[in-house]
Amino acid sequence: MNARTVFRRPVSTTERMYFPMRELAPPFLMQLVVPGEGDIDPDRLRRAVATAAAVTPGARLMRQGAEWVDTGITPAVRVMPGHRLGYPALEADPVLVSPIGPTPESTVEVLLLTGAPVTLVFRVFHGVMDGMGMVLWASNVLRALRGEVPVPFGDPVADQELVGRVGAPGRPTPMVPRFRSAVGRGRQRRGLARHLLRHRRIEATGPGAVARVCALLAAETKGTSRIMMPVDLRRHDPDLRSTANLALPLFLDITPGQDWTRIKEQIKTGLHDRRELDQLANTKITLVPDAVNRGVLHTTNWLGARLGRNLASATVSHMGRFTGADLAVPGFRPTGLFVLPQHSVAMPLLFGLTEFDGHTELTVSARNGAGIEARLEALLDRIVAVLEADLPVPDSRR
């Protein structure tokens, strides 16, 4: 391959902060989980991954200095014979916590778990893709499995370049570690898992799920909560075809008891004013040496775990609506789709939401500590109960 035609793009300031996370919050991967009925032939899957990766260079990247460069190497497909995900304590599942392979520099891989239910797991280092980029990549693999032509995603553009092009309308939100968490604080002890990873299925779907979850989190938190809602920057350039990190946060400050409809209006206003574009300026702190960046993140974790002082109370993301019919491939029909968030030392709670065939999938990564697990389970019980009571009844036609 001629060097002049190799896909490459700069490592953005946002992406720089993710490199120390691989040491501080391993394995620091986003994982898209697709369980289903039927079987997938491993060789057919490998061919589909190769076909999709050929037009999705973001799936073949390796860092070379200040750039991401397409290696031309197809992401590995690992087959786990007989393995089933270890619910409910997914943070202890040996497959989900394993490092990405086949080398430490690898950034994307696909797992095929053959235990019932057969499950695909798309694993992505956050440094090369955002959540939507991961969904676009996985969708291309499923297209290839159906024998369809994958969509090219060859634009070498991440958040930094896009914001530079469209402009930021205002100033960034000050990042001060003073916000509490809905599960409180707890000292992290040796021998205790540093993060928890949990999943719940809510038998309902409907509008305002993010706002409703935000309201529930604020109701359980002392003082004002600051919720971080990632916003897909692709909305500013609908013709952009990139799987890179193209999400920046919209910050929502919410008081206990605030109605979810008011939070929804706050979200609408923030999106209308394009406030997420302002937040790129906060990522300039990552331009310090990696060792300093790692020290800042370590201190941020200590402040949250020991003192309950966080840069934000939680992250709440909605990754879209899906159906089994749309995602089905020959011999395999998905029965669900959910995102397992990466662990973080900078945030106590990271929630992911997806909608699938009339139900809502809820996942969370939580910074663990003394007493956190019981409080997290109680919080998840409350979220499920309230959403199932307030959202419309399941409708598989959605």
The length of the chain is 398
Q: Residue 298 falls within a domain, yes or no?
A: yes
> Judging by DSSP bridges, how do beta strands 332-334 and 349-356 pair with one another?
unpaired
pLDDT above 60: residue 1: no
Q: Residue 398 falls within a domain, yes or no?
A: no
- Closest-CA residue to 172 (of 280, 82, 254): 280
393 pLDDT band, cuts 50/70/90, is low
111-142 burial by CB neighbour count: b if 16+ within 10 A, else e? bbbbeebbbbbbbbbbbbbbbbbbbbbbbbbb
Q: Residue 397 falls within a domain, yes or no?
A: no
Dump pLDDT digits (tens) for 116-130: 999 999 999 999 999
Domain hosting 104: range is 3-166+173-390
Q: Residue 339 falls within a domain, yes or no?
A: yes
pLDDT above 80: residue 3: no
What pLDDT is recorded for position 191? 85
Q: Residue 22 falls within a domain, yes or no?
A: yes
Q: Which CATH number fits the domain that encloses residue 224?
A: 3.30.559.10
Q: Residue 396 falls within a domain, yes or no?
A: no
Q: Residue 248 falls within a domain, yes or no?
A: yes
What's the mean pLDDT in 290-311? 89
pLDDT above 50: residue 391: yes
Sort 4 into a burial class: Cβ within 10 Å, 0-12 / 13-18 / 19+: exposed
398 pLDDT band, cuts 50/70/90, is very low
What pLDDT is recorded for position 12? 95
108 pLDDT band, cuts 50/70/90, is very high
Of the two residues 157 and 297, the one the predictor is more confident about is 157
Q: What percent of the chain has pLDDT over 70?
A: 97
pLDDT above 60: residue 396: no
Beta bridge partners of 232: 247
Q: Residue 370 falls within a domain, yes or no?
A: yes
Number of domains in the chain: 1
Dump pLDDT digits (tens) for 175-229: 999 999 999 999 998 888 999 999 999 999 999 999 999 999 999 999 999 999 9
